[in-house]
């Protein structure tokens, strides 16, 4: 019976509204007091039923809730035969609960949208080689699936054949389609805009990146921040205090109506709901923009941030070294570049790929007598010529003459943070290339936004040599930059910032080799397209490794924190106003008090919902 009544709260509020309307029409229009009184009595009895049930359930677990205060107030109004007040108070309370639930559901729209994006079926290859539509739960790791234009990718997988453009907004928050071909990774919940592809399932069900995102956002929205826990503790003592105040007022004044009014006006509804709605809306906004904020606690710490520490490779830089500068010496350069490409084609050194990409199409020749010089480079014979490819030390070993021009170029290239690749043909220097990891597009502007948002220190830690680190730091305008640092050195540096300098620190890394630093910092921020390690280790995940999302995340955290404070101010201000009014004015009564009270609840909810539309101003 209790469950049935609670399930019909909205219907009861609707019937109560009609009965109250009948009562006022009968009294004012037809001067019929009997119908008016009975309509108000029935409206009061109907309205108080779900409230009284909730009060009883709260008292069973030894909690004096808002429902307890309202129930006592309605009973008191009945006792003094103020049926008009009791009917209006119960209706407003139920109507306020309806509005509260409806608007809260809107703030959880990110979860709803994500859930609706979840794929339900897949075209699975059967033993006979044909593809048949099956429920997505029937897909196992290793199955081959066919995805056609307009269909959702059902699992995380790898493209086996075909190509197309995929909308990955559900994963990254970025609406621009991403081209996919054989060997590319695809994610569940994304949409194939055009093309046809076959994929092999790597992760299915809840193990997919999409499944993890939904799980994380749900957990984050259900989590409680320090401020929320404080409000919970506060209301646990505040509500009984209001009850005691009402009893004391009645005891000393013998004015039961005044005591009942205090119970209604002292309800802390807006205070209890204000902070959760801000957190839920903030986390929902982040989820829609490719930013996972893993819990309300993260928002509080992140909003007070004063230092951000960055890993270099893959965070500030693209993690894909390329030739940034080059210089040629002497004649027959095209031939020398062909020899260089022939040698580098047989090397697995990380810089070899960058050299080959820079040279492009050229004439390749057979390579003979290859000698790998440890810490130097490669020496080989190509078409009867002795080719040396490597660093300055290798050139000195090969007795290659470096004239003043070449020496000046080498110094300049190193100063700019390049790794050097020199090439000599028969002891004569022909090619000098400077290779460095390119800074991500737009990073400099994003760092400026972080400064404008109040970040005082921007620090870079890298395993690269100090010259390379300094060059990147100069270009980006960082506060500090430290090179030659192992993962344990980075962790020790962050520990020093926190324990010795008392700074609130965020670390931005790739979530794999930097996991100790991610875990140690107040806020760990992972770049990494939602990899398992990034999601598990960090507090915030930038789903597309999109550095620009970082400034959005920080701005959102600060806006959410401000929003919480605004809601607390509104809630406390309204309660103080109502309590002062009941003692020092003649116009304040239960009905007006409940109307203002429910209005304050709606105000904090609508204020919190503004966060759903938050975008960082450029």
Q: Residues with catalytic annotation?
A: 311
- The residue to which tokens 């002795």 are assigned: 386
Judging by beta carbons within 10 Å of its beta carbon (0-12, 13-18, 19+), is residue 125 exposed, middle or buried?
A: middle
Rg of the Cα trace of the chain? 34
DSSP state of 446: H
Task: Give the total residue count for the chain.
Answer: 618
Q: Are 1 and 38 in contact (CB under 8 A)?
A: no
Separation of alpha carbons 479 and 495, rounded Å: 18
- The residue to which tokens 């806020």 are assigned: 523
With residues binned 3-state (H G I as helix, E B as strand, rest as coil), the percentages for the chain, rounded to 5, are 55, 20, 25
Partnered with residue 367 across adjacent β-strands are 382
Q: Are 469 and 486 in contact (CB under 8 A)?
A: no
DSSP state of 463: S
Q: For residue 142, count other CB atoms closer than 10 A to its CB.
A: 10
Separation of alpha carbons 612 and 556, rounded Å: 10
Which of 140, 145, 155, 143 has the alpha carbon at shortest distance from 187?
155
Instruction: Extract the tokens encoding 440.
Output: 């991500």
Chain-centroid distance of CA 250 in Å reads 51
Q: Are 326 and 359 in contact (CB under 8 A)?
A: no
Separation of alpha carbons 469 and 534, rounded Å: 24
Q: Are 159 and 180 in contact (CB under 8 A)?
A: yes
Chain-centroid distance of CA 268 in Å reads 30
Q: For residue 500, count other CB atoms closer than 10 A to its CB.
A: 8
Instruction: Extract the tokens encoding 143.
Output: 């199955």
CA-based angle 283:287:290, to the nearest 5? 135
DSSP state letters, 95-113 = HHHHHHHHHHHHHTHHHHH
Q: For residue 130, count other CB atoms closer than 10 A to its CB.
A: 10
Collect contacts of 77-80 with beta carbons under 8 A, ≥24 apart. 77/44, 77/257, 77/260, 77/590, 78/44, 79/256, 80/256, 80/257, 80/260
Q: Are 50 and 13 in contact (CB under 8 A)?
A: no
Q: 435: helix, coil or strand?
A: strand
- The residue to which tokens 């490794």 are assigned: 545
Separation of alpha carbons 72 and 91, rounded Å: 15
Instruction: Extract the tokens encoding 152.
Output: 């959702």
- The residue to which tokens 């397209």 are assigned: 529
Judging by beta carbons within 10 Å of its beta carbon (0-12, 13-18, 19+), is residue 134 exposed, middle or buried?
A: middle
């Amino acid at each position: 019976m209790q469950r049935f009544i609670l399930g019909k709260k909205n219907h009861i509020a609707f019937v109560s509204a009609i009965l109250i309307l009948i009562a006022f029409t009968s009294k004012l229009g037809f001067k019929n007091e009997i119908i008016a009184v009975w309509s108000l009595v029935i409206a009061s009895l109907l309205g108080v039923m779900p409230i009284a049930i909730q009060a009883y359930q709260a008292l069973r677990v030894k909690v004096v809730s808002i429902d307890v205060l309202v129930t006592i107030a309605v009973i008191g109004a009945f006792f003094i035969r103020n049926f008009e007040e009791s009917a209006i108070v119960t209706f407003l309370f139920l109507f306020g609960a309806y509005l509260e639930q409806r608007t809260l559901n809107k703030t959880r729209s990110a979860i709803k949208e994500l859930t609706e994006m979840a794929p339900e079926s897949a075209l699975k290859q059967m033993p006979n080689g044909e593809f048949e539509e099956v429920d997505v739960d029937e897909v196992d790791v290793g199955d081959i699936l066919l995805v056609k234009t307009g269909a959702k990718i059902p699992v995380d997988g790898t493209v086996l054949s075909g190509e197309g453009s995929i909308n990955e907004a559900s994963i990254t928050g970025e609406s621009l389609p991403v081209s996919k071909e054989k060997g590319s990774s695809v994610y569940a919940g994304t949409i194939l805009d055009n093309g046809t592809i076959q994929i092999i399932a790597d992760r299915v069900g809840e193990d997919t990146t999409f499944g993890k995102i939904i799980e994380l956002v749900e957990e984050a929205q259900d989590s409680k921040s320090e401020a929320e826990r404080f409000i919970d503790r506060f209301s646990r003592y505040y509500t009984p205090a209001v009850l005691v105040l009402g009893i004391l007022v009645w005891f000393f004044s013998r004015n039961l109506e005044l005591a009942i009014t205090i119970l209604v006006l002292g309800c802390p509804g807006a205070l209890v709901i204000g902070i959760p709605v801000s957190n839920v809306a903030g986390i929902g906004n982040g989820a829609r923009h490719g930013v996972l904020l893993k819990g309300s606690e993260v928002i509080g710490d992140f909003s007070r941030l004063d230092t951000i520490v960055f890993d270099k490779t893959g965070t500030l830089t693209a993690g894909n070294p390329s030739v940034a500068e080059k210089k040629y010496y002497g004649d027959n350069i095209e031939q020398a570049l062909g020899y260089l490409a022939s040698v580098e084609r047989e090397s697995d050194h990380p810089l070899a790929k960058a050299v080959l990409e820079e040279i492009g199409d050229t004439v390749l020749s057979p390579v003979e007598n290859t000698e790998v010089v440890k810490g130097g480079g490669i020496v080989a014979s190509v078409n009867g010529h002795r080719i040396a490819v490597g660093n300055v030390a290798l050139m000195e070993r090969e007795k290659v003459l470096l004239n003043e021009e070449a020496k000046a170029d080498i110094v300049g290239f190193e100063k700019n943070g390049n790794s050097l690749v020199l090439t000599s043909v028969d002891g004569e220097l022909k090619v000098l290339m400077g290779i460095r990891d390119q800074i991500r597009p737009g990073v400099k502007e994003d760092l400026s936004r972080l400064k404008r948002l109040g970040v005082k220190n921007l620090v870079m830690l890298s395993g690269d040599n100090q010259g390379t680190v300094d060059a990147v730091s100069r270009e980006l305008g960082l506060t500090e930059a430290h090179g030659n640092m192992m993962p344990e050195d980075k962790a020790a540096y962050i520990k020093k910032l926190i324990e010795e300098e008392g700074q609130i620190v965020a670390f931005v890394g790739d979530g794999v080799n930097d996991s100790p630093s991610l875990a140690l910092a107040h806020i760990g921020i992972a770049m990494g397209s939602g990899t398992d390690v990034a999601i598990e280790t960090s507090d915030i995940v930038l789903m597309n490794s999109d550095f620009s999302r970082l400034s959005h995340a920080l701005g959102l955290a600060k806006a959410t924190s401000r929003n919480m404070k605004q809601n607390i101010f509104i809630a406390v201000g309204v309660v103080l106003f109502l309590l002062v009014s009941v003692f020092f004015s003649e116009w304040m009564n239960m009905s007006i008090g409940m109307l203002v009270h429910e209005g304050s609840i709606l105000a904090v909810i609508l204020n919190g919902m503004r966060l759903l539309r938050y975008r960082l101003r450029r």
